[in-house]
């Protein structure tokens, strides 16, 4: 992932040093596990732990140099690690293991840690959405369908729905974390032919993983599930960003991104305050969806294993985790700093719509008064069109229509914003269980 979208705490999990450090820990734990079952002298296992090399830039460079000869990254790593430990103890490194025992188990540790960071970031987004939903629950605005004004809603109701969706994303991340928090040290085709199952249990237990049956590799539907959770986060953030972009349009003007001191919206037009963060997040959601497609294609491998998934995962797994973490953090800041223009929302709702957003309660009132529904619909539809074309308030047009039979109190009730929004607090009630 390019540095622009890489936040340091997540990026630190996916460095070459971090990857090889986990490989080495799996290898050393496996040696210690062999000692516990009596296959290796305990003193020699202790020596492997004591003389295990420090995984730093020099170590990584040595492995990369060795790989130029072996053309196999794990074989190169084992060679360098064994040499660093020294003979004869170093010969126990990688004893009974195949490359995927090390790589897949270490990768699952990394993905579990990445999921923990994603869950922490998701907590932040849920919390800020819930807080702002409470603040804006009474901020009336026009609800829109097909991009057209429909009926009144509130901005707090939108925020509450986003919060509930983000909470579902969090549940998906929790489930995906559990699915990837697994490991395997069961040999070349997963049958433990050259390794004691107790070794797998020991290593996985030390790493906080659950041992699972596998072929040579851990099944890739687990990784795809994490990618689905990441893509779902992206879709939620895109939902939020798309709405903010629409509300920020000059003609709407109901919300805008926080604009910092010294910030410039355009290199050419000083008046511009563009919704650049919302646009950026919408774009990155597209990338996250692309990773999911590639991850699903990694599920089907030949027989007990091939490596068609490996090259793909070197790109998509780090990048998906990095981007998801980035969009969660940025979306949190977006909502936290969002400027809401409640007066403009109400202006668009009432004056801007000429009262058309109250057409349905007028229709229902006419039906309730005894008028046939289609006849009532045609009256309100006709008068609504006349109101819009003549830039007149719908109530005024209705009152001048001799076919309209409602009295003033009935129209007062139909055009009451308080009546329309009386049940909106239910949105906040739905958030009571969201922590």
pLDDT tens profile 373-402? 999 999 999 999 999 999 999 999 999 999
Structurally, at CATH architecture level, domain 97-352+421-435 sits in Up-down Bundle (1.20)
Per-residue model confidence (pLDDT) at position 273: 86
* Cβ contacts of 162-168, under 8 Å, gap ≥ 24: 162/129, 162/236, 162/239, 162/240, 163/126, 163/129, 163/130, 163/133, 163/431, 163/434, 164/430, 164/431, 164/434, 165/236, 165/239, 166/122, 166/125, 166/126, 166/129, 166/236, 167/126, 167/434, 168/232
- Strand pairing of 182-183 and 148-154? unpaired
CB 188 within 8 A of CB 216: yes
**Cβ-based burial of 173 (10 A; exposed 0-12, middle 13-18, buried ≥19):** buried
Phi, psi of 120 (to 5 degrees): -60, -45
In this predicted structure, the answer to whether residue 272 has a pLDDT above a threshold of 90 is: no
Is the model's pLDDT at 212 over the cut of 90? Answer: yes
CATH of region 1-95 = 1.10.275.10
Residue pair 393/432 in contact (Cβ under 8 Å)? The answer is: no
Q: What is the pLDDT of residues 409-431, one digit of tens each?
A: 999 999 999 999 999 999 999 99
Q: CA geometry: angle at 362 spanning 361 and 367, to 5°? A: 95
Q: Which residues contact 330 (CB under 8 A, 6 or more apart)?
A: 277, 280, 281
Res 106 pLDDT > 90: yes
Taking alpha carbons only, the member of 415, 425, 278, 428 closest to residue 349 is 415
Query: What is the pTM for the complete model shown?
Result: 0.95
Q: Model confidence at 182, in pLDDT bands (50, 70, 90)? A: very high
Active-site positions?
Answer: 146, 266
Q: What is the pLDDT of residue 262?
A: 84
pLDDT at 308 over 90: yes
Quote the percentage of the chain above a pLDDT of 90: 96
pLDDT at 259: 87
Q: Give residue 263's pLDDT.
A: 85
């Amino acid at each position: 992932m390019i540095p622009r979208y890489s936040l340091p705490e997540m990026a630190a999990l996916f460095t070459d040093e971090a990857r090889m450090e986990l490989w080495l820990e799996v290898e050393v734990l496996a040696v210690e596990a062999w000692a516990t079952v009596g296959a290796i002298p305990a003193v020699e296992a202790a020596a492997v732990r004591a003389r295990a090399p420090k995984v730093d830039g020099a170590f990584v460079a040595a492995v990369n140099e060795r790989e130029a000869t072996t053309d196999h990254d794990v074989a190169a790593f084992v060679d360098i690690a064994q040499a660093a430990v020294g003979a004869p103890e170093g010969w126990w490194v990688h004893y009974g293991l195949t490359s995927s025992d090390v790589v897949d188990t270490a990768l699952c540790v990394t993905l579990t840690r990445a999921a923990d960071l994603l869950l922490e970031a998701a907590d932040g987004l849920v919390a800020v959405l819930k807080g702002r939903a409470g603040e804006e629950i009474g901020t009336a605005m026009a609800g829109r369908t097909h991009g057209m004004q429909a009926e009144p809603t509130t901005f707090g109701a939108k925020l509450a729905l986003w919060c509930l969706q983000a909470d579902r994303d969090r549940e998906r991340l929790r489930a995906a974390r559990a699915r990837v928090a697994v490991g395997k040290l069961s040999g070349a085709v997963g049958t433990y032919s050259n390794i004691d199952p107790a070794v797998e249990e020991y290593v996985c237990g030390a790493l906080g993983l659950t041992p699972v049956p596998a072929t040579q590799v851990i099944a890739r539907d687990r990784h795809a599930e994490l990618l689905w959770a990441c893509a779902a986060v992206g879709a939620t953030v895109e939902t939020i960003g798309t709405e903010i972009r629409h509300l920020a349009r000059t003609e709407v003007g109901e919300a805008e991104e926080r604009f910092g001191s010294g910030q410039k919206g355009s290199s050419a037009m000083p008046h511009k305050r563009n919704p650049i963060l919302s646009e950026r997040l919408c774009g990155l959601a597209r990338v996250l969806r692309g990773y999911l497609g590639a991850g699903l294609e990694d599920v089907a491998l030949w027989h007990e294993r091939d490596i068609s998934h490996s090259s793909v995962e070197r790109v998509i797994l780090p990048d998906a985790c990095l981007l998801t973490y980035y969009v969660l953090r940025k979306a949190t800041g977006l909502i936290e700093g969002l400027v809401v223009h409640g007066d403009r929302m109400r202006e668009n709702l009432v004056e801007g719509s000429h009262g058309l957003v109250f057409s349905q309660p007028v229709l229902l009132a006419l039906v309730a008064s005894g008028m046939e529904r289609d006849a009532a619909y045609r009256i309100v539809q006709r008068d609504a069109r006349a109101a819009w074309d003549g830039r007149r308030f719908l109530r005024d047009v209705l009152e001048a229509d001799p076919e309209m039979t409602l009295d003033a109190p009935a129209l007062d009730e139909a055009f009451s914003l308080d009546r329309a929004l009386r049940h909106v607090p239910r949105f906040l009630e739905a958030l009571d269980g969201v922590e």
